[in-house]
Structure 1
């Protein structure tokens, strides 16, 4: 082969090689572009762009008047990006000393030299750990604003490497008030109370922001079609009244402490709507203090004892078995059925009493005899009546944790010959305090049973997005004639029965005491020689026009006092008194006609002040000498007469009839020392008026009212 041909052959081979290589590259480009294009574009986007999840603000939980019961507060972890584009060696070295001093002075946990050493070492090892935590704890928003002004940090994220990472902490502004009812949602997703039940509304909807990498390895937010705005959570408006909740908790805590009880609860409900205005749950801790640890009001199902006697009374009256005037012989307070003896709390028994008195004095023997007489052999009729009152159905309230009622039926596995008499007085069945209160609330509400309501509405940015109206469970739990008789009995319990200590002259209370032995599982009612009790009172007020119903349950009082009227009754009374005092619509209107049926009493006082008051109230009076600084008062059927008091620093003034403030002013101005007993106006003074003053002497004042 000639040299020329050999050269041409080699050139042709090389040419063909490059042509094939070019075709291969073109094919690969086409393959990458159209076959693998989506894969590489997605990878490029991941490297160049990143999606940032925007956490929405969690909604607040509010009281009925809008006051916050639970809210979220932002806290911040502080980190430093040691490889941020703007954090060059010169910038870092120029600011590290000042930054270390500021951090040391602010957190006071280590020296400035320690901070400088740690940050310098962290920067040297930044390739292994780029983001370094610079604070020993989370900081709040106000602290963050101060830290943002520190050297280097004031340059921001890209130039100074400062990165605050926000996390929200849930707080209760009113401390532990209604804490178990307000509830929580923990990191494991376990839901409790309102927080758990309405988590779907409170948490809102997360948003999305797109950030792009820019030169210097920094990220900035950019507009994108993928951007989604976060939607803040809705506020949950509850029915809780902060003032009444505070009263309920304070009253409950005081009685639990007084009786050294294990735990207790108190619930206040609005009769017409079923709105829960207060719900307190307290348990004794190891140190003897009480705190909210469990929602006993909805989660503890126990044998209610005597509060169950009212459903029994309704069953007897509805079936036309007897009238309130009928009599029952309760004998000596002991009645044996099979191998069990039913006993009354009154040792000698009540003897022969009316049906009305049986329930007013809570006679176990009387109730058991009545039920045995009319329902023996007809047990199903009795239980059907109880079921008709909806006592066997759960309330399905808006928060989780309710324990379903347990009321067995004849023929069930654990039904026995003792079941009818024991169930009639509140044993061998179980109900929660809220389920019992719902029944008593129905009596107060003229037989209409409403579902307890804890949440009224969901609100977002001031606008109601969902409301929850009152729900009716039963339009009538019994006939009107029966209801009238039951109300008469419940009023009688307070007027002349077991709860006479709750009687007061201002408003009427109606209700039923309950005292039940507490079963210890399979160990029975008596364990270790001791019997535990549950004391309760359920009722409503004012009895003649019910506005509120309330139940109080105290478990295991241990200071030898365990009856419902003495342990639970005072808590009920303190709550009802507070409601009464803050409900002006319950008071009689003031007669503003200006006509006095009787001229009111006026204390001796400064003439100028007294004349101003009498003028303002349009009370007729006879003016004293204008030169008189102090006056005594006398009244008749038509006017108040003002008489001049002679006041001198040399003689003891007459302060009888004066208020304490005026008496102290006059007596101490003469150089006398004053001691007093009682309150009201001065009834007598130990040094006679007109006596020459002996400076430093002590005058004793007896006030018109004794010590309060």
Structure 2
């Protein structure tokens, strides 16, 4: 019995001893935490309660050539109030609450003075240090709010908390909207000038430390660690909003009149390649309106049709293969090549025409005869000549989405056919964008010098030029000087005597150019219902200042042939 009691006592003492050791261990740990590890745990707690936030930079402006805003960032502020700030005494709060409530009510207008006062007092009593006053406050409203009682004590003592955001605005709405573009970094979308010059426009984000308070909200810690954001730079474009407006409205009228699917109009300055206006409109069947949703001029590689007759004919003229006075037999207006028929819209004259007539009257048969006779023994020489004119290379625009030109070569036996030489002569079996076509015609207007289309001239920061983009030459001389002069006389003839004669009667300027009509391949086959109609040229013809192109895609409201 005695042994049993001793055994029990021994077990009890053992338990007590264990508890005592555990208590001592806890006490030692507490002492260590309180004295030795105190700083470590304070720092850890602060890192959990303090977090670094990014401050959004204001995106730079995009301006037209005359300083008009094409795209700008409007600041929008979320305004909050540290109603329970220890720096705001009860005397200060309650002696100014009426004036503050009245001011907020007048400026924001969404609530009465009594409602505002009731909410502010409630926020004060509940210890709310992150009370929402207004989520979308303009800069003008914020400036007035900062002058109100309590708030005017400053960002530290006044309890006013602001978070800045920006909203991108296009003051001219749809005008050149697709070329101005947008940036959506989350979806990796960089469109137009906004996307191409994003690195300059976006600026540099700032940093701000914030402390977590009740309800998980974060309030700024205004201290020396805060880094202010650096606003983005401004981009100065070549666009002239006045000419852009004229171009866009003129294009819209044509699309409406002819019930077309889409179209584009581009105006370029001859000497510099500056894009003065670029309009792209596409029909939206959901609301039955034309909108700038696709940059057709830059992105769409199409069979150009008759507007390609100029480089084709110049290839033969430049190589001395033909002369403008040479005679051609076009007969009734059709000719067979390997079982396929090349056909004109109608018979021209008595069936015997000159090379000049073939161009001015836009004869498919005439051009096919000129090119096949000139290059049938060496078709590579024809295509190599087109390559030497830089027609097979993209323009290398900074704006993303440029369509790639396609001009096949006889060395590729899989794509080259017996009919290729004839069909390429009048703009089929090859592809090129409207802007690439315009760039070639602009080169002729510019004496043979091909310059790269320019959309942006300068990058500005705080009124000073950061980068200056000069004129960039793509090809110093696309054809010989004397061939350029022949080209100019041919295009003047198109307007004076040829397919564009009726279109420009009464024009205040002398115009030179070329009309074009190209059937569109649908399901691998061509038909007379689907086609592009176009005109490309320059003015004044005797001293070219501007070149332009207009393309109307799939007109359905009556005939609308370019030539």
| Alignment TM-score, normalising by the size of structure 2 | 0.83
Give 3-state SS (helix, strand or coil) of 1:391's partner.
Answer: coil
Within-5 A mapping of 1:410-425: 410=410, 411-425=412-426
- Contact 1:533/1:562 (8 A) holds in 2: no
Closer, same or farther: CA 397–103 of 1 in aligned 2, 3 Å:
same
Deviation at 1:71, TM superposition (A): 1.1
- Determine if the alignment matches structure 1 residue 328 to structure 2 residue 332: no
Deviation at 1:120, TM superposition (A): 8.2
* CA–CA separation in structure 1 for the residues paired with 2:112 and 2:484: 77
Deviation at 1:450, TM superposition (A): 0.9
- Determine if the alignment matches structure 1 residue 396 to structure 2 residue 396: yes
* CA–CA separation in structure 2 for the residues paired with 1:430 and 1:325: 30
- Specify the alignment match of 2:543 in structure 1: 545
Q: Which moved more, 1:419-428 or 1:372-381?
A: 372-381
Within-5 A mapping of 1:19-58: 32=37, 42-43=43-44, 46=47, 51=52, 53-58=54-59
Deviation at 1:264, TM superposition (A): 1.1
* CA–CA separation in structure 1 for the residues paired with 2:127 and 2:177: 45
Within-5 A mapping of 1:177-576: 177-188=175-186, 189-208=188-207, 221-224=222-225, 228-286=227-285, 287-346=287-346, 351-410=351-410, 411-501=412-502, 502-504=504-506, 506-520=508-522, 522-526=523-527, 531-564=529-562
Deviation at 1:336, TM superposition (A): 2.3
Give 3-state SS (helix, strand or coil) of 1:281's partner.
Answer: strand
Deviation at 1:445, TM superposition (A): 1.1
Q: Which moved more, 1:344-353 or 1:86-95?
A: 86-95
Q: How many residues align?
A: 533
* CA–CA separation in structure 2 for the residues paired with 1:125 and 1:393: 69
* CA–CA separation in structure 1 for the residues paired with 2:192 and 2:553: 22
Deviation at 1:218, TM superposition (A): 7.6
Closer, same or farther: CA 350–150 of 1 in aligned 2, 3 Å:
farther
Deviation at 1:208, TM superposition (A): 3.7
Deviation at 1:370, TM superposition (A): 1.8
* CA–CA separation in structure 1 for the residues paired with 2:100 and 2:468: 56
- Specify the alignment match of 1:138 in structure 2: 136
- Specify the alignment match of 2:162 in structure 1: 164
* CA–CA separation in structure 2 for the residues paired with 1:350 and 1:98: 91
Deviation at 1:204, TM superposition (A): 1.6
Give 3-state SS (helix, strand or coil) of 2:66's partner.
Answer: coil
- Contact 1:87/1:160 (8 A) holds in 2: no
Give 3-state SS (helix, strand or coil) of 1:138's partner.
Answer: strand
CA deviations over 1:71-100 (Å, ceiling 9, x no partner): 111112334456544497995899599849
Give 3-state SS (helix, strand or coil) of 1:512's partner.
Answer: strand
CA deviations over 1:240-269 (Å, ceiling 9, x no partner): 122211221121122222222211111111
Q: Which is higher, the Rg of structure 1 or of structure 2?
A: 1
* CA–CA separation in structure 1 for the residues paired with 2:406 and 2:26: 85
* CA–CA separation in structure 2 for the residues paired with 1:503 and 1:458: 42
- Specify the alignment match of 1:66 in structure 2: 67
Deviation at 1:542, TM superposition (A): 1.5
- Contact 2:251/2:265 (8 A) holds in 1: yes
Give 3-state SS (helix, strand or coil) of 1:544's partner.
Answer: coil
Deviation at 1:454, TM superposition (A): 0.9
Unaligned runs of 5+ in 2: 1-24
Deviation at 1:126, TM superposition (A): 7.3
Q: Which protein has greater RCO, CA pairs closer than 8 Å, 6+ apart?
A: 2
Closer, same or farther: CA 312–116 of 1 in aligned 2, 3 Å:
same
Unaligned runs of 5+ in 1: 1-19, 566-708
Give 3-state SS (helix, strand or coil) of 2:77's partner.
Answer: strand
CA deviations over 1:81-136 (Å, ceiling 9, x no partner): 5654449799589959984996599455x888987888888889878xx645444x
* CA–CA separation in structure 1 for the residues paired with 2:118 and 2:35: 55
* CA–CA separation in structure 2 for the residues paired with 1:178 and 1:250: 12
Closer, same or farther: CA 474–333 of 1 in aligned 2, 3 Å:
same
- Contact 1:87/1:161 (8 A) holds in 2: no
- Contact 1:263/1:554 (8 A) holds in 2: yes
- Contact 1:97/1:116 (8 A) holds in 2: no
Closer, same or farther: CA 420–107 of 1 in aligned 2, 3 Å:
farther
Closer, same or farther: CA 412–241 of 1 in aligned 2, 3 Å:
farther
- Contact 1:213/1:219 (8 A) holds in 2: no
CA deviations over 1:513-567 (Å, ceiling 9, x no partner): 01111223x35333xxx711211111111112212111111111111122127xx
Deviation at 1:56, TM superposition (A): 2.8
Within-5 A mapping of 1:682-693: none
* CA–CA separation in structure 1 for the residues paired with 2:546 and 2:122: 68
- Contact 1:282/1:294 (8 A) holds in 2: yes
Deviation at 1:41, TM superposition (A): 7.2
- Contact 1:84/1:218 (8 A) holds in 2: no
Deviation at 1:68, TM superposition (A): 1.8
- Contact 2:268/2:276 (8 A) holds in 1: yes
CA deviations over 1:596-650 (Å, ceiling 9, x no partner): xxxxxxxxxxxxxxxxxxxxxxxxxxxxxxxxxxxxxxxxxxxxxxxxxxxxxxx
* CA–CA separation in structure 1 for the residues paired with 2:369 and 2:139: 69
- Determine if the alignment matches structure 1 residue 77 to structure 2 residue 78: yes
* CA–CA separation in structure 2 for the residues paired with 1:176 and 1:158: 43
Closer, same or farther: CA 236–341 of 1 in aligned 2, 3 Å:
same
Closer, same or farther: CA 223–98 of 1 in aligned 2, 3 Å:
closer
Deviation at 1:295, TM superposition (A): 0.9
- Contact 1:333/1:343 (8 A) holds in 2: yes
Deviation at 1:228, TM superposition (A): 4.3
Deviation at 1:46, TM superposition (A): 3.5
- Specify the alignment match of 1:684 in structure 2: none
Closer, same or farther: CA 79–347 of 1 in aligned 2, 3 Å:
farther
